Amino acid sequence: MDTWAPIADIAAAVNDGKTTASENVEKALQNIEDKAEFKAIISLTADRARKRAKQIDEHVKSGKPAGRLAGVPFIAKDNFLTFGGETTAASNILKGFNAPYQSTAVENLEAEGAICVAKANLDAFAHGSSTENSDFFTTLNPHDKTRVPGGSSGGSAAAVVLGMAPFALGSDTGGSIRLPASFTGCVGYKPTYGLVSRSGVVAMASSLDCIGPFARTVSDAAIVLDVMSGKDPLDSTTIERSKNSYTDLELDVEGKTIGIIKEYMGEGLEPEVRKLIDAGVEKLKNAGAVIKEVSLPSLPLALAVYYIICPAEVSSNLSRYDGQRFGYSDLDAKTLEESYEMSREKGFGREAKRRIMIGTYVLSSGYYDAYYKKAQTVRTKLINEFSAAFKEVDFLLGPTAPSTAFKIGENVDDPLKMYLIDIMTVAANLVGVPSISVPCGMVEGLPVGLQLMAAQTCDRELLSLAKAFEELNV
Amino acid sequence: MANLTREDILKLAKLSRLKLSDAEVEEFTAEISEILQYVQMLDDVDTTGLKPTYQVTGLTNVSRPDEISDYGISQEDLLKNLPARDKNYIKVRKML
């Protein structure tokens, strides 16, 4: 199977007339077909992709450049609203849904000539860490078909690693980009909260949701981020982007201070994963980085905070699926009340129901203060600890996950055990800081990801360090 | 507080507009109790003097001019996903 050139080179070749967007789209569709057994893809947007490719090729033929991502195919997680096919969020309740508009992230990519060719599998509504909660099927890990690719954006991660497209889009509410990047061996980037618009992405937990890219290299992830980011009137939580390009990366790590997160390096971390992280730290140290150990004492509370705030916001966001305006509706219902209950009963899977119930509980009168308000206050404590840490160090470092990819079925009967897989990723979402998972080596044929974080809005600096690490780790 | 009963689960299901099977009620009673026991580690955390954080980047009261914008989406586009429709109205079941 053909692999892909760096994204900037693919676009340059299209703009120079050396290759065509149509050839790239056909190559992506062929690669998707060749790797269908991994079940990374829910649906193709082939007709629209071919049409757009033709337009781009005609545009180039007429002598005009077609953008920074001219003719670059990509795959969107199926919770991004896109034209050219259904958007399901891997849920039965949205099966058959045809988006009336596209997500801003996809619009921004298309404006620079990128072409969406397919929609990737996920845990339904992005609730999960393995894609096993998809209402349709489980995606297989590209390195071992008996293992999960991580989640919730497992289809997007697998698609990139399998070479289906040069990049893919994911969403990250508690680790849903970084965890699958770690489990499959690609780069996964969660930007600063608000840097990329969520307009047109199926909402999960709005104070945590972030949009970001999967790619094979940090440079590829950076160019995608650069095109997607910025203020959007359709998402009032978006923030100003940096005036400098996110592709303008500074590779010198000399004198940069990196804090190793003490709480992530102890109990629960597999020894072989730890060895690789330690080796990665050593490389950064040898390149001139100043390494310190940093303690964030409230980190062991982060998962508990997350599993109050997240379901609370989920229960609110999923109330819109009422069977009346879009999505699955049980037409056997006799009354409106029955229509709500029956549509939601059949349309939602087990995990969506579980989270709606937990969320309803922690928000209900009498428990609101004890759970929801308490969690949001401990969140403040965590934010304060991160702020203090970033006065001491430029970056934080740890593993992305405590282990490599687990077996399909291993954790499905124990929701709490499944939740614990996110233990090292949720803090970045609670605090709103950017975080990246970069490949750091393999343990028994399975990839391990190294996680880096920086202070809010230091996305360019974080991508710079990640790229420097990538080059040191070759 | 965190040991939920069958009745608690049924009440939550009602509040959430979810109909559950008997098997789901049983599973959720155990699972959700376990999850709530896990998050109870926050009970003992000292948060004296701290306020809750609802928005992490500090934005407040983001407003926009109250003007009509054309997003290029037709009425038909917005109505095409309706499960039941009568002309340009959303058709719903009777309320009572």
Distance from CA of A33 to the nearest CA of B (A): 29
Q: Do A98 and B80 touch (CB under 8 A)?
A: yes
User: Which pLDDT score, from 0 to 100, does residue A365 have?
Assistant: 86
Q: Inter-chain contact B36–A432, Cβ cutoff 8 Å?
A: no
Instruction: Please give the residue range of the domain that contains residue A184.
Output: 7-228
**Would the CB atoms of B57 and A193 count as touching at under 8 Å?**
yes
Burial class (CB in 10 A: 0-12, 13-18, 19+), B63: exposed
Taking CB atoms and an 8 Å cutoff, what residues of chain B touch A298?
A: 45
Q: How many CA atoms lie within 13 A of A97 on its CB side?
A: 28
In a domain, B47, yes or no: no
Sequential DSSP letters for chain B: --S--HHHHHHHHHHTT----HHHHHHHHHHHHHHHHHHGGGTT---TT----S-TT--------------S--HHHHHTT-SSEETTEE---B--
Q: Is B43 on the interface with A (CB under 8 A)?
A: yes
Is residue B84 within 8 A of residue A331, CB to CB? The reply is yes
- The count of domains in chain A is 1
Shortest alpha-carbon distance between residue A85 and chain B (Å): 13
CB-CB: which of A324, A333, A378 is closest to B90? A324
- Angstroms from B8 CA to nearest CA on chain A: 9
**Does the predicted TM-score (pTM) go above 0.95?**
yes
With an 8 Å Cβ cutoff, is A368 touching chain B? no
Q: Are the beta carbons of A98 and B31 separated by less than 8 Å?
A: no
Q: Which residues of A are annotated as catalytic?
A: 77, 152, 176
Is B94 inside a domain boundary?
no
Q: Is residue A286 part of a domain?
A: no
Rg (CA), chain A: 21
Whether the CB of B16 is below 8 Å from some CB of chain A: the reply is yes
Distances in Å between the alpha carbon of A202 and those of A91, A231, A343, A409, B52? 11, 19, 18, 26, 26
Chain B: give the shortest CA distance to residue A442, in Å: 32
Read off φ and ψ for residue A211, nearest 5 degrees: -110, 140
Blockwise average pLDDT, block size 10, chain A, 474 residues: 89 98 98 98 98 98 96 98 98 96 98 98 98 98 98 98 98 98 98 98 98 98 98 96 94 96 94 98 98 97 97 98 95 94 96 97 93 97 98 98 97 89 96 98 98 98 98 91
Which burial class, exposed, middle or buried, applies to A408 when counting CB atoms under 10 A from its CB (0-12, 13-18, 19+)?
A: buried
What pLDDT score was predicted for residue A163? Answer: 98
Q: Is the residue at A204 inside a domain?
A: yes
Q: Is residue A384 part of a domain?
A: no
Query: Would you list the DSSP string of A349-365?
Result: -HHHHHHHHHHHHHHST
Contact A336 B43 (CB under 8 A): no
Asked if A387 is an interface residue toward chain B (Cβ–Cβ < 8 A), one would say: no
Quote the pLDDT of residue A1. Answer: 53
Joined together, the tokens standing for residue B49 give 């003097």
Q: In residues, how long is chain B?
A: 96
Does residue B24 lie within any of the structural domains? Answer: yes
Of A101, A207, A415, the CB nearest to B56: A207
Q: What is the CATH number of the domain that holds B11?
A: 1.10.20
Tell me which residue range forms the domain holding B23.
6-42
Give tens-digit pLDDT for B49-83. 999 999 999 999 899 889 988 888 999 999 999 99
Q: Which chain A residues are Cβ-neighbours of B90 within 8 angstroms?
A: 324-325
pLDDT the model gives residue A323: 95
Q: A471 to chain B, minimum CA–CA distance in Å?
A: 32
Contact: B42, A344; criterion CB under 8 Å? no
CATH number at residue A87: 3.90.1300.10
Interface of B with A in 50-89 (CB under 8 A): 50-57, 59, 62, 64, 71, 73, 77-78, 80-84
The domain tally of chain B equals: 1
Per-residue pLDDT at A2: 60
Indicate the SS3 state at residue A98. coil
Q: Among B56, B62, B73, pick the best mutation site for testing chain A contact (most A Cβ within 10 A).
A: B56
In a domain, B69, yes or no: no
Establish if B12 belongs to a structural domain: yes
Instruction: Give the integer Cα–Cα distance in Å for A219 and A33.
Output: 27
CB A346 within 8 A of CB A300: no
Q: Tell me, yes or no, if B18 comes closer than 8 A to chain A by beta carbon.
A: yes
Q: Pick B16's closest partner by Cβ from A339, A356, A416.
A: A356
**Of the candidates B12, B31, B53, which has its C-beta nearest A360's C-beta?**
B12
Residue A452 lies in a domain: no
Residue B64 lies in a domain: no
- A104: chain B residues, CB-CB within 8 Å: none
Q: Do A353 and B20 touch (CB under 8 A)?
A: yes
Q: A411 in contact with B at a CB cutoff of 8 Å?
A: no
Asked if the Cβ–Cβ distance from A360 to B15 is below 8 Å, we say: yes
Within a domain: B37: yes
Q: Are strands A395-399 and A446-454 parallel, antiparallel or unpaired?
A: antiparallel
The reply to whether A186 falls in a domain is yes
So what's the pLDDT on residue A260?
98
CA distance B23 to chain A (A): 11
Q: What 3-state DSSP class applies to A333?
A: coil
Domain-located, residue A447: no
